[in-house]
C-alpha cells in the first residue's frame, strides 16, 4: 500500500485528507516511480471542486506532475531507464501519492545538481509553456509574446523560453511583487491588470504593432483587450478559462480584420483521447495521441533541459514559491486559491 491525497466528495480544501490506498502496478510500457515531490496546479483545485474530472482510465488521485526515482517496470519497456534513475514526468493524475505509474516515453531525466523539489516544479509548467510557444504558436525570433498570469509557474517558464528563442516576453500580473519577479526572470515589460489597461500598454510598448502571440489562461473577460493589442496575423492561444468562457460582442469580425487566429490547447485531454481510442480499439488513433506527447517530451528534453544544467547559457531555472508536506495538502490548496504564489507550490512526500 501507499499514502495518497484523497477526498470523498467535491468541495473545499477541508475535504482533502491523506489515506492508505493500493500501490499501482505498471502496465504495458509503463514505469513505476517512487515519488519524492509533486506540485500543485489549478487543475487540481478544479478537480477537487468536481469541475474537472480525470480522463477516463487515469488515476483519480490528484497531481499532474512528479519527481522521484525509478522503482519498477511493466512488461514491454525498452530499457531506457534503470532502477534508481532520478526522473520527472507530466502526468494525467496520481502525482500526489508515494508511487505513480508513467508511460516510459513520458519520463525525463532530472538535470544535474537539481533537487527533487526543484524538479517537481518543471514538468507541467515548462512542458505546457514549451508546447504553447513552439508546437502551437510557432514562435519566431524577434516576435513579441504577451504572457498573462506572468507570475504563475507557466508564466515564469514562458518568460525564460521566449528569451531562449530570442523573442521578447511581456507580461501581466496582479501585484507589483509579481511584476518584479517576472522582470528578474527576463520580462521586458510588465503591466498590472488591476490598475492599468494592459492593451494600451502593450500597444505603446510595441509602438502600435501589438503582440504577435498572446498566451491566455484567463478567457472571457480579456477577449476585447486581447484583440485590441493583437498584431496583424497574430496568434491568440487560449489554454485556460479562469474568468469563464462566455464572450459577448463582435469577436470574429474584429479577429478577421486583423487576420488573427485563435488556438486552444489542453495537454491533459490528449491522454483522455488516447485512452478512449484504446478502449474503442482504434489503436492507430491512440498511437497518434500518445506519440504527440512523447514527441513533446523528446523535443523538450533535447532542446531545453540542457539549459537547466551548468552547460550552455542562458541558464534556465524553475521558481519554487513554497513547499508543503503531503499532510498539509489542504493548506497548499488554500494558498493557491488566495492567488498568493509566485511560481510553483511543491508537495513533498513523506520520507
Note whether 222 and 183 are same-domain residues.
Answer: yes
- Last residue of some domain: 232, 264, 296? 264
Task: From 201, 230, 264, give the residue that closes a domain.
Answer: 264
Q: Show which of 264, 284, 303 is a domain's final residue.
A: 264
Q: In the structure grid, which three cell numbers stand for residue 106, read together?
A: 513520458
Predicted local confidence at residue 282, as pLDDT: 54
Q: Are 347 and 327 in contact (CB under 8 A)?
A: no
Q: Looking at the structure, do residues 65 and 154 belong to the same domain, yes or no? A: no
Q: How confident is the model at residue 269 (pLDDT cuts 50, 70, 90)?
A: low
Same domain, 237 and 193: yes
C-alpha cell at 326: 503531503
Same domain assignment for residues 105 and 41? yes
| Structural domain contains residue 256 | yes
- The CA-atom distances, in angstroms, between 70 and each of 65, 205, 242, 291 are 15, 47, 35, 22
Same domain, 101 and 219: no
Same domain, 8 and 118: yes
Task: Answer whether residue 115 is part of any domain.
Answer: yes
What pLDDT score does 10 carry?
Answer: 96
Instruction: Identify whether 70 is part of a domain.
Output: yes
Residue 146 shares a structural domain with residue 107:
no
Which residue spans within the chain are E strands per DSSP?
2-6, 17-21, 30-40, 65-73, 86-90, 99-103, 107-109, 144-147, 168-173, 189-192, 211-216, 230-238, 261-264, 320-325, 344-348
What DSSP character marks residue 143? -
pLDDT category, 277, cuts 50, 70, 90? very low
With respect to residue 298, please indicate whether it lies within any of the assigned structural domains. no
Does residue 93 surpass a pLDDT of 90?
yes
Residue 283 falls within a domain, yes or no?
A: no
Is residue 301 included in any domain, yes or no?
Answer: no
Q: Is residue 170 predicted with pLDDT exceeding 60?
A: yes
Give the per-residue pLDDT at 218: 86
C-alpha cell at 91: 502526468
Task: Report percent pLDDT > 90 for the chain.
Answer: 78
Q: Residue 167's closest CA among 226, 238, 235, 222?
A: 235
**Winning range, highest mean pLDDT, from 219-233, 240-254, 273-287:** 219-233
pLDDT (mean) for 310-323: 86
Domain range enclosing 226: 137-264
Domain match, 183 and 253 both: yes
pLDDT band (50, 70, 90) for residue 311: low
Output the pLDDT for position 272. 44
Say if residue 267's pLDDT is above 90: no
pLDDT tens by residue, 27-46: 999 999 999 999 999 999 99
**Model confidence band, residue 283 (pLDDT cutoffs 50, 70, 90):** very low
Work out the average pLDDT over 35-59. Answer: 93
Q: Do residues 88 and 151 share a domain?
A: no
158 falls within a domain? yes
Residue 131 lies in a domain: no
Q: Is 82 exposed, middle or buried (0-12, 13-18, 19+ CB in 10 A)?
A: exposed
What is the total count of domains within the chain? 2
* Ranges of H-type helices in 229-327: 251-257, 268-279, 283-303
Q: Is the model more confident about 267 or about 128?
A: 128
- At 176-211, the pLDDT tens digits run 999 999 999 999 999 999 999 999 999 999 999 999
Amino acid at each position: 500500500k501507499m499514502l495518497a491525497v484523497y477526498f470523498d466528495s467535491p468541495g473545499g480544501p477541508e475535504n482533502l485528507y491523506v489515506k492508505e490506498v493500493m500501490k499501482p502496478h505498471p502496465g504495458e510500457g509503463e514505469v513505476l516511480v517512487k515519488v519524492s515531490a509533486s506540485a500543485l496546479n489549478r487543475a487540481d483545485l478544479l478537480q477537487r471542486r468536481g469541475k474537472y474530472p480525470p480522463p477516463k482510465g487515469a488515476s483519480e488521485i490528484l497531481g499532474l506532475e512528479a519527481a522521484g526515482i525509478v522503482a519498477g517496470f511493466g512488461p514491454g519497456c525498452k530499457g531506457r531507464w534503470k532502477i534508481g534513475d532520478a526522473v520527472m514526468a507530466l502526468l494525467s493524475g496520481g502525482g500526489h501519492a508515494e508511487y505513480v505509474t508513467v508511460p516510459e516515453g513520458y519520463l525525463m531525466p532530472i538535470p544535474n545538481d537539481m533537487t527533487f523539489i526543484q524538479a517537481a516544479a518543471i514538468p507541467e509548467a515548462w512542458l505546457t509553456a514549451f508546447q504553447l510557444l513552439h508546437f502551437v504558436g510557432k514562435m519566431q525570433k524577434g516576435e513579441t509574446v504577451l504572457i498573462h498570469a506572468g507570475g504563475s509557474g507557466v508564466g515564469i517558464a514562458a518568460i525564460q523560453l521566449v528569451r531562449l528563442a530570442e523573442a521578447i516576453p511581456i507580461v501581466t500580473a496582479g501585484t507589483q511583487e509579481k511584476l518584479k519577479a517576472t522582470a528578474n526572470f527576463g520580462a521586458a515589460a510588465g503591466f498590472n491588470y488591476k490598475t492599468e489597461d494592459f492593451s494600451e500598454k502593450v500597444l505603446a510598448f510595441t509602438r502600435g504593432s501589438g503582440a504577435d502571440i498572446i498566451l491566455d489562461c484567463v478567457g472571457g473577460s480579456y477577449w476585447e483587450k486581447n484583440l485590441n493589442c493583437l498584431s496583424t496575423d497574430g496568434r491568440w492561444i487560449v489554454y485556460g478559462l479562469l474568468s469563464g468562457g462566455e464572450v459577448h460582442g463582435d469577436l470574429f469580425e474584429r479577429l478577421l480584420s486583423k487576420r488573427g487566429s485563435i488556438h486552444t490547447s489542453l495537454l491533459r485531454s490528449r491522454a483522455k483521447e488516447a485512452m478512449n481510442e484504446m478502449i474503442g480499439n482504434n489503436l492507430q488513433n491512440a498511437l497518434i495521441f500518445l506519440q504527440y506527447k512523447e514527441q513533446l517530451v523528446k523535443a523538450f528534453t533535447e532542446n531545453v533541459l540542457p539549459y537547466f544544467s551548468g552547460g550552455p547559457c542562458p541558464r534556465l531555472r524553475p521558481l519554487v514559491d513554497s513547499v508543503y508536506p503531503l499532510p498539509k495538502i489542504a493548506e497548499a490548496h488554500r494558498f493557491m486559491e488566495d492567488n498568493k504564489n509566485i511560481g510553483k507550490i511543491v508537495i513533498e512526500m513523506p520520507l
